[in-house]
Homo-oligomer: A and B are copies of this chain.
Amino acid sequence: MAISHLHCLQSVRVAFPGRPSDSNNYYYGRDNFTRKGSSLVYASTNNLNRDLHLQSKVETVLDSVKWDDRGLAVAIAQNVDTGAILMQGFANREAVATTVSSRKATFYSRSRSMLWTKGETSNNFINVHDIFLDCDRDSIIYLGKPDGPTCHTGSETCYYIPVFDLLENQQDKEDKLALTTLYSLESTIAQRKGELEVPQSGKPSWTRRLLLDEKLLCSKIREEADELCRTLEDNEDKPRAASEMADVLYHAMVLLALKDVKMEEVLDILRRRFSQSGIEEKRSRNSQA
């Protein structure tokens, strides 16, 4: 497989990773490889020196990656807030360098033999917050925030074919997203909420009762928060604290479902709060208090 742009990196300016991705002076995308020279914006000597220094560092990191015989490594895009694996592709040197500079998850398409930035046609970019290599340095995580559904099918992630359900002939579940515990619970609660209009025989589930009775729900949230506190105040054991926290989380998530708030929105808030500098954090806290 031909990888025509594999050695182009030397001639490409690389942005400081802390810079915002929309800074035109520092962005370079796939186009720059074909229109080299024409779109470069010349910065001051200081900036140039810093850029050259950074470029050399990026090359050192890229040199340390164990590219396979096709010059590729596996690249996995993961949602920084939910942990959902959004998609998996392959990356070559340029793809990683482009991701570092543009902060948009970029891959190397083996079928089209070219770089592609996820979102370049759909506008559903994956905004990369961090990049990790594994112990063998041949596998990469792009930890980022997607602008919208990642899959070309419109699905939130590309992983929605559940093998065990297929084996059990649960055809109705053929489109079941790979969800981890918190989001699987969120999905169950949302499902119960969706069934509220459907009359049910027999005793209603606890979730259904909570969804139908705001007074009961709020009294449970306050009660569970109190019980969580008492595990500390009364020096109760660890399993008790974990169990009470599970109760707090579950009941609070039922309230979130009623308010149409996703856990992802909550985690987005926490990330923004805690990625701020100490001073900003304190200021934001004081303004809330």
**Residues of A in contact with B (beta carbons under 8 Å apart):** 17-18, 54, 57-58, 61, 74, 76, 78-85, 87-88, 96, 100, 130-137, 139, 141, 143, 151-153, 155, 158-164, 166-169, 178, 180-182, 184-185, 188, 203, 205-206, 214, 217-218, 221-222, 224-226, 228-229, 231-233, 238, 241-243, 245-250, 252, 255-256, 258-261, 265-271, 273-274, 278, 281-282, 285, 288
Contact = CB atoms under 8 A, between A and B. Distances in A.
B260 A238 contact: yes
A243 B269 contact: yes
A146 to B, nearest CB: 13
A18 B192 CA distance: 25
B221 A229 contact: yes
Given A17-B164, A162-B131, A222-B226, A241 B270 contact: no
A21 to B, nearest CB: 13
A155 B135 CA distance: 9
A3 B84 CA distance: 32
Q: Can you tell how many copies of this chain the complex includes? A: 2
Contacts of A259: 231-232, 238, 241
Contacts of A164: 17-18, 100, 130-131
Nearest to A84: B83
By DSSP majority rule, is chain A's interface helix, strand, loop, or mixed? helix
A271 B184 contact: yes
A36 to B, nearest CB: 23
B238 A167 contact: no
B261 A245 contact: yes
Given A80-B181, A88-B139, A278-B205, A261 B238 contact: yes
Contacts of A100: 163-164, 167
Given A184-B274, A266-B249, A288-B243, A151 B135 contact: yes
Nearest to A254: B232
A160 B135 CA distance: 7
A225 B243 contact: no
A162 B132 contact: yes
Nearest to A18: B168
A70 to B, nearest CB: 11
Given A80-B180, A245-B252, A167 B136 contact: no
Nearest to A139: B88
A178 B155 CA distance: 24
Contact of A130 (B133, B151, B178, B274): B178
